[in-house]
């Protein structure tokens, strides 16, 4: 320890040897980050989200890439999935649920319900697992953790787009005419995204703290499928009794029926969509609030 | 000038034990909630839990305060569990502090691990973009530096191969290459220089140095003292979550080294020593090993002078006390030995029944590590007290060549200087 004199004076030496230009340091313009125990859901949170938007795209891109790496048919799986389920459902339920003489063939009816449902279910289960699945990121690098459930929803959205494309090809083939009803699709998709991301945020945060949700989540999605008759049944008006009460609290029911109405031009059930939208807003606010509340402890708890 | 990093009374508490913090599983939370409702009805008083000082609390950081000015390169040293990584995690905003605050001025990049977010299924090219983005680079920035990154890693031919087929060396090189091209104003680095082979490590150190010269602020955690001493002028030593010392690197590292070596204790009682041969006479009482420079520090820096002091007691006075010391490597193979028959003391002892022998070994030519010693004690003609592995000599790393680098451990336990001449043909 006698070489104090020979130590490099790197802190004060002048011109750099780096190839890149030395970063211009203007003390006044530099962003200031305060790290303290408390944190609020301020505007800064959203500004930061905007700054990290590219990472969100990269995370979605990564998940899409990984999903279809080393597969033979690649993105075509996004087509096969809903189509296979549609075929099974149409075959199994067609004679019971299908109405002969209806303007829309039952298989198309099911497909138009399955496409939004597949998105909802994939987004919620993906987002629910997203934080735990990205444990090594969460414990090693900082970014707004909200990006994780959002990117999982983004992955589901890519498949959803493919599903919509299938629908866009299938509907004219089945003789469904284009119409003004298509204009309602963005609104309906907005509600769908609200519901999916709200629930996804909530479950994503809960799974970090309580791994019970790893088991609960698939179960929940299965139950939800059965509790959402809109996917495979023509629901007009009320279901009667218990069914109505359940549907009052099922954010999927209204939005899925509305998606079909918007895609195929069947009559809209506006009150049902309004219920979905209200539930979606509540879920989203709740999910965002809870996620933000505990995201700072993720790395400690995970 | 405003500091780049200002840390004020930063503390971080962890709750030990399994399960979620606060010891709440879902079942407990539910039953507490339900019980709470039940109690609300029965109006039973609930004893509040004493929350201030629970026995399972562990303070990973306690009242840590310091400031780092723009362009400073600061080494953070300390034993495992001293709070270094926690400090970096708090500053990187990965975990939230329990108390206190830190203010960071400027864009910050942290590197707590190489290859964070690397995905084995993705190709090298894809991983560069993904990892760069995760570390905070924009897509344009990555695209601009892409060729440089790939050249640094030296993996041009394997760009489109999935990373899972890479050798571990290639993987680590690519991961470090991405990280090395981060250009934030403040860089936080945790022990990432310890990757790859010798040549690559050299490249990494070089890169780190040019990062520092580029006017950026760097916090650098490492156990590699020569590297810290070489890269950083200032050092902060953490122990038990507190700042023990903060100052010029050489001084802080020396204090730290002394503290580390203190643990083993370099004074060994030889009376009941297991290494004594069966036919030995118990003449050696104890042995003390210290750094001759200060006489107190129980470990000796490389090229320093080791001082080996033995106390002896005899039944009859002996005119020609001799001591032999054999220094052995970790596998107990002798490295060198010396005794005062071949290199006698300038003044011989008058016949004595008790006393001590001091042996100084200057310019200790050993690599960092611990070396067992055998002691041979007796008269000029006979070693009547032999103690194998009597004590261990601890050698500390030092920047003996002024380059921040040492020969690899695989080159053997001896560190010997050389001079060079290079002629072109």
What is the per-residue pLDDT across A219-271, written as a single tens digit (0 to 9) for each?
A: 999 999 888 888 877 765 555 667 777 777 889 989 999 999 999 888 888 88
Give me the residue from A6, A17, A297 closest to B210, CB to CB: A17
Is pTM beyond 0.90? Reply is: no
**Hey, what's the torsion of the CAs at B64, B186, A57, B149, to 10 degrees?**
-130
**Residue B301: closest CA among B350, B258, B342:** B258
Chains A–B, number of C-beta pairs less than 8 Å apart: 181
A69-123 pLDDT tens trace? 878 887 788 888 888 888 888 888 777 766 655 678 888 988 999 999 999 999 9
Per CB-CB distance under 8 Å, the chain B contacts of A17 are 210, 213
Which CA distances in Å does A182 have to A113, A168, A179? 15, 11, 6
Taking CA atoms, what residue in B is nearest to A301?
B20
Give the distance, in angstroms, between the CA of residue B235 and the centroid of all CA atoms in the same chain.
13
**What residues of chain A lie within 8 A of the CB of B14, using their CB?**
300
Q: Please give the residue of chain B at the shortest CA–CA distance from A147.
A: B134
Taking contacts as CB-CB distances below 8 angstroms, the residues of chain A near B301 are: 1
Chain A nearest CA to B410, separation (Å): 24
Phi, psi of B269 (to 5 degrees): -80, 125
B31 touches chain A (CB under 8 A): no
Residue B164 has what DSSP assignment?
Answer: G
Residues 6+ apart with CB under 8 A from B44: none
CB distance B310 to B356 below 8 Å: yes
d(CA B247, CA B256): 12
Question: Looking at residue A16, what is its pLDDT?
Answer: 37
- The one-character DSSP state at B330 is T
What digits encode the pLDDT tens for the residues B188-212? 888 766 566 667 777 777 777 777 7
Beta bridge partners of B288: B267, B309
Q: What contacts B354, CB < 8 A, 6 or more positions away?
A: B311, B312, B313, B314
**ipTM greater than 0.85, yes or no?**
no
pLDDT at A126: 95
- Of residues B207, B211, B210, B205, the one with CA closest to residue B229: B205
Selected residues 308-367 of chain B with any CB under 8 Å from a CB in chain A? none
The closest alpha carbon to A287, from A137, A153, A101, belongs to A153
The radius of gyration of chain A from alpha carbons, rounded to an integer in Å, stands at 24
Considering only CB atoms, A140 lies closest to which of B113, B213, B249, namely B113
Average pLDDT over all residues of chain A: 82
Paired tokens of B392:
């261990």
List chain B residues with CB under 8 Å of A208.
none
Are A20 and B398 within 8 A, CB to CB?
Answer: no
Residue B56's beta-bridge partner residues? none
Contact state of A301 with B20 under an 8 Å Cβ cutoff: yes
Return contacts of A233-237, CB within 8 angstroms, 24+ apart: A233/A97, A234/A97, A234/A99, A234/A102, A234/A109, A235/A269, A236/A267, A236/A269
B288 pLDDT above the threshold of 70:
yes
Name which of A66, A258, A63, A263 is nearest A166 in CA terms. A263
């Amino acid at each position: 320890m006698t070489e104090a004199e020979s130590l490099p004076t790197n802190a004060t030496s002048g011109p750099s040897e780096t190839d890149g230009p030395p970063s211009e340091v203007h003390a006044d313009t530099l962003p200031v980050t305060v790290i303290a125990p408390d944190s609020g859901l301020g505007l800064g949170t959203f500004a930061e989200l905007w700054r990290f938007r590219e990472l969100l795209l990269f995370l979605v891109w990564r998940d899409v890439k990984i999903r279809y790496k080393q597969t033979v048919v690649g993105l075509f799986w996004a087509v096969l999935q809903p189509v296979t389920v549609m075929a099974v459902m149409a075959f199994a339920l067609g004679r019971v649920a299908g109405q002969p003489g209806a303007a829309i063939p039952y298989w198309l009816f099911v497909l138009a319900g399955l496409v939004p449902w597949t998105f909802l279910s994939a987004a919620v289960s993906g987002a629910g697992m997203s934080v735990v699945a990205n444990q090594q990121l969460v414990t090693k690098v900082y970014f707004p953790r909200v990006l994780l459930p959002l990117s999982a929803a983004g992955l589901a959205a890519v498949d959803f787009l493919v599903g919509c494309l299938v629908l866009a090809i299938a509907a004219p083939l089945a003789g469904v005419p284009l119409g003004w009803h298509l204009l309602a699709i963005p609104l309906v998709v907005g509600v769908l995204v609200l519901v999916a991301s709200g629930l996804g945020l909530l479950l994503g945060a809960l799974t970090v703290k309580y791994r019970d949700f790893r088991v609960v989540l698939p179960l929940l999605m299965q139950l939800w499928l059965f509790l959402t008759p809109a996917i495979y049944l023509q629901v007009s008006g009320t279901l009667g009794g218990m069914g109505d009460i359940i549907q009052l609290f099922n954010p999927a029911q209204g939005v899925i029926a509305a998606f079909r109405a918007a895609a195929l031009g069947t009559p809209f059930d506006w009150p049902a969509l309004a219920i979905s939208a209200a539930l979606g807003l509540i879920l989203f606010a709740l999910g965002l609030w809870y996620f933000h509340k505990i995201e700072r402890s993720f790395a400690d708890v995970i | 000038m405003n500091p780049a990093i200002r840390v004020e009374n930063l503390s971080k508490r962890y709750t030990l034990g399994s399960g979620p913090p606060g010891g709440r599983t879902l079942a407990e939370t539910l039953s507490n909630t339900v019980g709470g409702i039940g109690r609300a009805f029965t109006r039973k008083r609930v004893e509040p839990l004493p929350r201030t000082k629970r026995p399972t609390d562990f303070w990973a950081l306690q009242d840590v305060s310091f400031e780092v000015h723009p362009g400073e390169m600061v080494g953070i040293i300390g034993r495992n569990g001293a709070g270094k990584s926690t400090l970096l995690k708090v500053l990187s905003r990965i975990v939230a502090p329990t108390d206190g605050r830190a203010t960071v001025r400027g864009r910050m990049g942290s590197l707590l691990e190489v290859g964070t977010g690397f995905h084995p299924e993705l190709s090298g090219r894809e991983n560069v973009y993904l990892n760069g983005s995760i570390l905070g680079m924009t897509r344009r920035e990555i695209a601009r530096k892409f060729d440089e990154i790939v050249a640094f890693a030296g993996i041009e031919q394997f760009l489109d191969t999935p990373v899972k087929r890479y050798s571990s060396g290639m993987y680590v090189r690519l991961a470090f290459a991405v990280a090395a091209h981060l250009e934030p104003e403040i860089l936080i680095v945790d022990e990432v220089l310890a990757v790859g082979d010798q040549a690559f490590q050299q490249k990494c150190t070089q890169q780190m140095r040019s990062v520092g010269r580029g006017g950026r602020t760097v916090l650098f955690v490492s156990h590699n003292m020569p590297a810290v001493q070489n890269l950083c002028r200032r050092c902060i030593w953490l122990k038990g979550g507190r700042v023990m010392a903060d100052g010029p690197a050489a001084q802080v590292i020396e204090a730290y080294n002394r503290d580390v070596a203190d643990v083993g204790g370099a004074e060994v009682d030889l009376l009941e020593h297991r290494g004594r041969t069966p036919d030995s006479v118990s003449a050696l009482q104890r042995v003390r090993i210290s750094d001759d420079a200060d006489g107190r520090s129980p470990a000796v820096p490389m090229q320093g002078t080791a001082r080996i002091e033995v106390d002896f007691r005899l039944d009859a006075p002996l005119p020609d006390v001799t001591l032999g010391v054999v220094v052995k490597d970790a596998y107990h193979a002798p490295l060198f030995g010396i005794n005062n028959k071949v290199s006698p003391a300038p003044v011989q002892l008058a016949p004595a029944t008790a006393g001590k022998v001091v042996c100084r070994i200057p310019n200790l030519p050993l690599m960092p590590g611990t070396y067992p010693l055998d002691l041979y004690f007796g008269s000029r003609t006979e070693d009547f007290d032999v103690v194998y592995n009597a004590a261990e000599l601890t050698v500390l790393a030092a920047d003996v060549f002024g380059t921040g680098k040492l020969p690899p451990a695989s080159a053997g336990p001896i560190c010997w200087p050389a001079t060079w001449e290079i002629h072109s043909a």
